[in-house]
Amino acid sequence: MREILKIEKKLGRIREEKYGPRVIDIDMLFYENRVMNYPVLILPHPQVQNRRFALTPLAEIAPAFVHPIFKQNINQLLDACSDGLAVVKHPG
């Protein structure tokens, strides 16, 4: 996690307000099938199942990966996701 925070800082991220605008945001969503709960890191990410912008690309690269807590694969989580945000793949 320290390395991720260093990368964000190097790329210009300034942490001023929670959920405020930012130039970069790196989140760890999963690490193998591990479940962790530390002050600086919770795995799996506690909101991944609610975020279409995270699930959509995950479904492209790992559709069969099973969430270690919910016991559903990424496609199932995406199908059940109530987030109405449109996710558009960047051309390129």
52 contacts 19 by C-beta, under 8 angstroms: no
The yes-or-no answer on residue 22 being catalytic is yes
The yes-or-no answer on residue 51 being catalytic is no
Catalytic residue chosen out of the listed positions 13, 51, 52, 83:
13
Distances (CA, A) of 36 to 18, 51, 73, 85, 90: 22, 20, 19, 28, 32
Catalytic residue chosen out of the listed positions 25, 51, 52, 83:
25
Task: For tokens 């959920």, name the residue.
Answer: 19
Catalytic residue chosen out of the listed positions 2, 15, 22, 52:
22
Catalytic residue chosen out of the listed positions 2, 15, 27, 52:
27
The yes-or-no answer on residue 52 being catalytic is no
Question: Where in the sequence numbering do the catalytic residues fall?
Answer: 13, 22, 25, 27
